[in-house]
A and B are shown apart, each in its own frame.
Chain A
Amino acid sequence: MNNPTPGQDAPKGSIGPGGEFVQGPPSHQEGAPRHRAEQDRTRTLKFFGSGRTLFGMWIVNVLLTLVTLGVYYFWAKVKVRSYLLSQTEFEGDRFAYHGTGNELLVGGLRAVILFGVPFLILSYGPGLVGAGGVTLGVSSLLASFIILAVPAFATVWALRYRLSRTSWRGIRFSFRGRVRDYVTLFVKGILLTTITIGLYYPFYAAQKRAFMVSHSYFGNERFEFDGCGNELFKVYFQAFLFIASVALFVVFVSLLTPFLTPFAMLLLPFVPILAWLFTLAEQRRFFWDHTCFRRCRFQSTVTVNNLLLLKLGNYALLLFSLGLAWPWVRIRTMDYDLKHLRLNGLLDLAAIQQEASDASAAGDEVAGFVDVGFDWG
């Protein structure tokens, strides 16, 4: 996907420095100021983080977390996040993180009270007081509802908190999606995916992404998403075909030339891994290539090959260091993510105004507990 601008049915033109609309093609208009022509190009993100610095921070964080019996964890998280964002540069200016340890601690406590306490009571309470039968059944059903609901709430809250505490050039990001809408999407997605034995999943994944992107703002400007599930369905279908054809191939080989069977069987463990990497890479490209901001479109250059290299390197580092190398893994991953992301088109910031909404930190910690992955940059 290389569409340079979103909203192709919009009239061709560009936004002037004062925000007024200028008729004509954006970059080749005669007499247009040079800086405007320069704006229509490919932009990349740069990352300056160092594994060594992060390792040092981590050691101190571990010590303080141990000594404070875990309380420092929230401040440690803020330090790491702030460091990583401050080492990320776009157009010569770095990002900034504005979250605080206090906010995260309060959020964590709120998460425990909202979800943890009811869950523990429902799942262990009846057993401890010796209740049985219907009570036990109903309470374990309710407990599993909580387990199901946590990711939905956590995703929205965490995104809302994290974006509202991130800024670039002094302008905050924000997420304005409502939990209610996401829960509806989530329940519908899970039900349909189950009923269709997974066939609906790509459509659900695309809708989920669309929800997240199209409710994200930089200042007063919204991000847009124009991908549809069909495209993602093709990706998943290709991965399925790949697995099925290798499996068939192995079956044929073992039927025709039985002595080759062990060699053909050797292929099998690699097939799901490759299929997984393929879907991961293609999905990431689908997600970003359909994400737009004003007159710019994101582009991801993630491929199976470079993703495989990243993952293999990361696993080797972690395995041989018994997990000690994770600061380097974190840096490597972030560097990879940013290196393979571009922004093409006319970056026009003139009309952007600060417009931040407040957000609570509860979801952020819930997201930490259930490990909801959201690769925003």
Chain B
Amino acid sequence: MTTPTMRRTDWSGTYFGGHAPQPQRASIHLMPTGLQIRTDDGKNLWWPYEDIRQTQGFYTGQQVRLERGEQLPEALVVSDTAFLAAVHRVAPERAKHFHDPARRDIRRALTVLAALAVIAISAALYMWAIPALATVVVSHVPVTWEERLGEGIIQKLAPPSKQCTEPKRLQAINQIVTALAATLPDHGYTFQVLVVSNPTVNALAAPGGYIVLFKGLLDRSDSAEELAGVLAHEMQHVIQRHGTRALLQRASIGILLAAMTGDVSSAATFGVGVASTLGTLSYSRRAEEEADTEAMRMLLASRVDPSGMILFFEKLQRKHGNSPEAFKYLSSHPAAEDRITNLQALSRTSHDEPRKLLPDFEWRDMDEICLVRPGS
């Protein structure tokens, strides 16, 4: 449909010669091969369409800006976007490189499609591509790199001054680790357990074979079998390389979000930080489930009584479910009930007679592990 405005061939605009900041009012006549421009100070200009670049006027509210010339171009500014439609009518072939406002509706629809595509691509990257990429990359990271990475983490989390080093009790814990590790001869890691004098009920694994036990968790355990469950879980984090994987996935999400925001200014990262934390939560839940399952398999393979692990998790949930210290261990792990049900089901798959762990060790003595500390 051709409107009267589109048939208009005479338009007015502002001309900038590019030498001095004095704008000139210009009358523009549309010709089939170019623009005839006459400025207020009497200049007559001829701009063939193929010499003209459109640099502005692609969006609502933007003026149309046409430029001609290379280094310091002359410019012609027209406020009315209908000008573009008129140019397209007068010179449909030669002015093809000008934006056509008639296509803005299509563009709007395309933008909605783009939004859907962005959601789909991000979801695909998040759900498949990033984990798959992490799997491939993680399997190629040498253990020595992981060890160096773990060392750095350990120095912050378990500084030597905070470590409990009573040799007899530490040796007892290491015996459990050795017994468990014997079931998987080819994992390539040297496990090192560090006990930290801290009332928090928590344990964690750092890449490269480091396992940190907080004294609070040790206090809650009543037998070697109970602790064996926690140790097996943390050892599996190391063997499955969950820590290294988490770092990679976090970095990938960071890159993905940076690509989305364009300029990551300090303000934008504030909101993005929240999104990125939420994003890594589901990855960590998956890792926890895997560590639970593999830990139970490890216990069964080394003929450790699996009820210790189940009992300990139940105890943590029942007795300390609402206390802030226990919350720390449980909150970073899958829903406690699901987890216990899952462990129980797995434990029933083996019918081997369990053996007693550390038969000669009085578990209550474990209390005194922090009596010897490097600082004391």
Name A residues whose Cβ lies closer than 8 Å to a Cβ of B.
48-50, 53, 56-63, 65-67, 70, 73, 76-77, 80, 82-83, 86-87, 93-94, 96, 98, 127, 168-172, 218-219, 314-315, 318-319, 321-326, 329, 333, 349-350, 352-354, 356, 368, 371
Interface centre among B72, B73, B264, B271 (most CB of A within 10 A): B271
Chain A hits for B75, CB < 8 A? 96, 170
Q: By the criterion CB–CB under 8 Å, are B262 and A371 in contact? A: no
Residues of A within 8 A of B55 (CB): 82, 96, 98
Interfacial chain B residues near A83, Cβ < 8 Å: 59, 62
Encoded as 1 (CB less than 8 Å from any A CB) or 0, chain B from 1 to 22 comes to 0000000000000101111111
Q: Which of B92-100, B115-123, B358-366 contacts A (4 or more CB under 8 A)?
A: B115-123
User: Besides A63-B114, A172-B72, A324-B271, 17 other CB < 8 A contacts?
Assistant: A56-B111, A65-B260, A65-B262, A73-B262, A82-B55, A86-B65, A87-B61, A96-B55, A96-B65, A98-B55, A169-B21, A169-B22, A170-B18, A218-B21, A353-B20, A368-B263, A371-B264
Closest CB of chain B to A88's CB: distance in Å? 11
User: Is A219 touching B56 in the complex (CB atoms < 8 A)?
Assistant: no
Does B62 contact A86, Cβ atoms closer than 8 Å? yes
Q: Can you give 11 A-B contacts (C-beta < 8 A)?
A: A53-B61, A63-B121, A73-B259, A82-B56, A96-B65, A314-B267, A319-B271, A323-B270, A329-B268, A349-B20, A354-B19
CB distance from A342 to the nearest CB of B (A): 19
Partner of A62, one of B61, B108, B118, B265: B118
CA distance A314 to B268 in the complex (A): 9
B63 CB within 8 Å of chain A: yes
Q: A80-B262, A172-B72, A368-B263 are in contact. Are A322 and B271 (CB under 8 A)?
A: yes
Q: Which residues of B contact A (CB under 8 A)?
A: 14, 16-23, 55-56, 59-63, 65, 71-75, 77, 108, 110-111, 114-115, 117-118, 121-122, 125, 148, 257, 259-268, 270-272, 274-275, 278
B261-A326 in contact (CB<8A): yes
Cα distance, A19 to B265, chains bound together (Å): 43
User: Is A371 within 8 A of B259, CB to CB?
Assistant: no
- The residues of B that contact A325 with a CB separation of less than 8 Å are 271
Instruction: Return the contact of B72 from the options A63, A314, A352, A356 (Cβ within 8 A).
Output: A356
In the assembly, what is the distance between CA of A259 and CA of B250, in Å?
A: 45
Contacting residue for B271 out of A73, A98, A168, A318, CB 8 A? A318
Chain A residues near B73 (CB-CB < 8 A)? 170
Beta-carbon nearest neighbor of B56 in chain A: A86
A219 to chain B: which residues have CB within 8 Å? 20-21
Of the residues B16, B59, B148, B267, contact of A127 by C-beta under 8 Å? B148
The answer to whether A326 and B268 touch (CB under 8 A), given A172-B72, A352-B20, A353-B20, is yes
Contact of A354 among B72, B263, B275, B278 (CB under 8 A): B72
